[in-house]
Amino acid sequence: MMSYKSILAHIEFDGNSDGRLHYATDLAGELDAYLVGFAASALRAMHVSEMGIATDELFRSEAGAMNVRRFEQLRRCFFAIAGDGPNSAWRQSQDLPTKALLLHARAADLIVSGTPHGAAPGDNYRSADPGELVCNAGRPVIFVGEDKVFRHPARAVIGWKDTPQARRAITFALPFLVLAKSVLVLAIGDHRHGADNSGPMDVVRFLLRHGVDADARIIEEDDKPETFIEALDEEKSDLVVTGAYGHSRLRERLFGGFTHALLMRSDLNRLMAG
């Protein structure tokens, strides 16, 4: 069975990530995993004119010094929470956060992040794009809900669609699912018109072979994000496992979609894989 031996905790350059970091620290302790704290921020050019972008060197020097102080503050906070021992380490990058985070994802089995701006990327010089992260990290990402603490999930819900992303997400989520008190495989769609219902049951059998006791629920309604979100709330889910972006990201940004809807739910723990 897959296990997480190394976890990368993404710390926001701005704002407070203490809750997310406590979650990552407790998860690493539960799994005896190596924990890496990571933060990134890039300096921006300041002046735009008809001649193009001009760099103010004085500004860059002052902003760079402020970044150094902020990195040191974040580093101290990380070690204060995670402990400064053989199972913890710190990394930082003066680069665009999304780009830097995707690069350093290679060092981990799991990325712990959050969605302080919902599905939006926020300021790309100072925060990571969650959609870009989950699509291109090559690693599972758990977006920790605001003010959530780590505990064994009481009700984990797998949003099932027969896609490569959903299959990968289930495999990646096994370390969480074996800890869960109950697991539900949830599929949504109008199965009365010839759709195959065998997929959710195959997933249940797959999970049983990995020691995860799961059941399945099929909602015979239109395949809409609202239906899925309502079902999550009805099930009182405290962990949601899904594949990411079954449609193009542009289409979801324009018209909405399951991934976009989940990224907006900062009250939930959401494990996703692209």
Give the list of residues 6+ apart from residue 46 with CB closer than 8 angstroms, or none: 54, 55, 56, 59, 60
The reported pLDDT for the residue numbered 147 is: 85
In terms of phi and psi (left: phi > 0; alpha: psi -120 to 50; beta: otherwise), the region of 15 is left
Residues with Cβ within 8 Å of 227's Cβ and at least 6 positions away in sequence, in order, are: 188, 219, 221
Which pLDDT score is estimated for 221?
79
Which amino acid is located at 1 in the chain?
Answer: M
Average pLDDT, the chain: 89
Q: DSSP 3-state assignment of 241?
A: strand
Is 47's pLDDT higher than 70?
no
How many angstroms separate the Cα of 274 from the Cα of each of 101, 162, 209, 216, 247?
15, 13, 24, 23, 11
Strand-pair partners of 217: 186
pTM of the model: 0.90
∠ CA 195-200-202, nearest 5°, is 110
Question: Whole-angstrom Cα distance, residue 94 to residue 71?
Answer: 9
More confident residue, 72 or 135: 72
Q: Does residue 255 have a pLDDT over 50?
A: no
Per-residue pLDDT at 7 exceeds 70: yes
pLDDT greater than 80 at residue 170: yes
